[in-house]
């Protein structure tokens, strides 16, 4: 079992409560592998960068703690 899968399993009950899931059992490592194989890495990178850019813009400490995404570094 991968470290990430184990970490998620140890927090299954908390995740179930937080996300309103009907069961606390988390998927096995194969399920995560199958789902991640379908993810477009470039699109995920764009979405995560956009999230952090918005998050940074809302931050009070933007000038002293900038978040730099790979995609936005050279612009």
Per-residue pLDDT band for 73 (boundaries 50, 70, 90) equals low
Q: Which residue has the tokens 């612009």?
A: 75
The ranges assigned to domains in the chain are 3-37, 41-72
pLDDT of 75 reads 45
pLDDT in tens, 5-62: 999 999 999 999 999 999 889 999 999 999 999 999 999 999 999 999 888 887 755 5
């Amino acid at each position: 079992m991968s470290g990430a899968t184990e970490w998620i399993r140890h927090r299954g009950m908390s995740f179930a409560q937080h996300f309103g899931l009907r069961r606390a059992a988390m998927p096995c490592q194969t399920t995560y592998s199958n789902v991640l194989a379908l993810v477009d890495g470039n699109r995920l990178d764009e979405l995560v960068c956009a999230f952090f850019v918005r998050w940074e813009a809302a931050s009070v400490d933007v000038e002293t703690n900038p978040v730099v995404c790979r995609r936005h570094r050279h612009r």
